Amino acid sequence: MSSRVLGQLAIVGIPGVALCGGLYALCLHYSPAAVVAVLGLIFCSVFTGVVCWLTVWRGHVRSPRFAFWAGLALAAFGLWVHWCVFAYLEFQHGKALALHLVRSGPHGWWVFFDALAEVAVQASPQRFMAGWLPAVWAVEAFLLLSIPASLSRLAATEPYSETAHRWAEKTCTGELWWAGGLSAMLGTRLAEEGVGFLLSHPRAVEHGAPAASCWWTILLECSAVEEDPDARWVSVFVLTHQRRDNGRIATERTAVLADWCVSAEDYARLSAHLGAPAPSADAEPSAGGEEEGEFATALADFENDAFESALLRVEGLLASDNAAMQADAWRLSALCLSRTGQWSRAYDAYRVLFERHPDAHTALQLATTAVMCGEVARGEQWFVTAEALNRAENAVPWADMLISILSAFASTAQWRAGLPYLVKLRQLYECSQSTDDTFLFMQRLPFLQSFFDKSLPFVRAAMGEDEVVAWYAAMRGHLDDGGRQQLDAWLNGLRAGCRPQ
């Protein structure tokens, strides 16, 4: 262990974690409320982690394994201080308990905690219950140890220059337009072509947000040590942007390359590419700029429910030389045709779009559109394709896929054809841990009552009344208490003839 590390342990690490542990004990002593105790635990875990991270960073520790164990040891010392101070403050014979904890080893600590549980229950039986004290202490210890150890390890993984003896500093970040989708494909291209592949992609800010429901960009984070020309790193991520039904955009980040070491020349070229000035507002509009303006107008018409107008405007962009613009135009065209009930033309538009971007979402659109056209077999084939693509992409929740295809079957009254998909949706409820409305909403599932009501036409189209009751009753053994109560009440209404025919 170097003198630098020992110095940081003495100056930052040991005093810092001891202070955090002591303050946490004071928090528990003077604020016995459970909410305050939980907040105190969280803040103590985080601040202890920051102290450990700072110790590793200032000590220039480059071994993640050593940093992890050093952080764990520091956190354990802070936990030990916490218990000493807590015992001293909380109990009548606290000084003796604290001294026992200081002087004893592991066996003595076990005896201490056993005695502490008994003393705690005797001192405050309403506040402490011996049955759950060990579990609470275990959770507390896990948080106070795991967070600092993880942050310490994270600090040691940052890029470092052995020549300049300095950690790298982030110099710039930026996003590039990426139409490839999967992060594995990007990693393969980078391995084959290097930085030149990134330089061939335009900045995302120059492309603008498309009308697609899902698109991708490449996020680059560049770090360097100025004094060392060989210390240049780039971290590469794929950002998946998904447009929700409410218009908001959710972004998911996937790591492709972490701290990729590049040459100083490549680093300079990439930094210049990311920092290139945006097109001037006074510049002459290019053909691409005119297309973007026309597309923006068409998109505005679509959002204002002027679907025919949007369709006319976007038709001229279907043969654009810009592949991304062409894909967006076909997507918007398909959406307009769907909104106006022109399902056959919408299917053709989605088919062209799928040839350009074969993703799970477009395959699902093809499945539902085929069903709306009355072509059930073709819709089922496209659903299988969407399911296979989604296993690789994980872009569409399984519940959303089932609900989409079932909605298409319901809209066209093809109840019997939709029953197999309804069975799969029922399985999601049966495997769910809870039927609480909030939990189901987070799982993208309709409320249980809504499932009962909307699924009834599918089941009645394929079964007799007794079989219908049995189909729903089979769920009972898989539901929680609240779900069983809802099911029983609904079945009673069904038997009494109170449900819609």
Using alpha carbons, list the distances in angstroms from residue 228 to 26, 62, 232, 267, 339.
47, 17, 8, 13, 59
Residues found in the chain: 501
Tell me if 256 sits within 8 A of 183, measured CB to CB.
yes
Strands (E) across 99-245 are located at: 160-161, 166-167, 169-178, 214-224, 232-243
Q: What is the pLDDT at residue 101?
A: 67
Q: Would you call 433 helix, strand, or coil by DSSP?
A: coil
Q: How far apart are CA 11 and CA 490, in angstroms?
A: 67
Share of the chain above pLDDT 90, in %: 14
Q: Would you call 18 helix, strand, or coil by DSSP?
A: helix
Q: What is the pLDDT at residue 370?
A: 93
The CATH number fitting domain 288-496, selected from 3.30.70.270, 3.40.1440.10, 1.25.40.10, 1.20.58.2030: 1.25.40.10
Q: What is the pTM of this model?
A: 0.49
Q: What is the pLDDT at residue 422?
A: 92
Share of the chain above pLDDT 70, in %: 82
Dump pLDDT digits (tens) for 166-221. Answer: 888 888 888 888 766 555 667 777 777 788 888 877 887 765 555 556 677 889 99
Mean pLDDT, rounded, of the chain: 81
Would you list the domain boundaries of the chain?
3-157, 166-275, 288-496
Q: Would you call 370 helix, strand, or coil by DSSP?
A: helix
Q: Which residues contact 470 (CB under 8 A, 6 or more apart)?
A: none
Dump pLDDT digits (tens) for 265-313. Answer: 888 888 888 874 433 434 444 445 576 777 778 888 887 888 888 888 8
Q: What is the pLDDT at residue 310?
A: 85
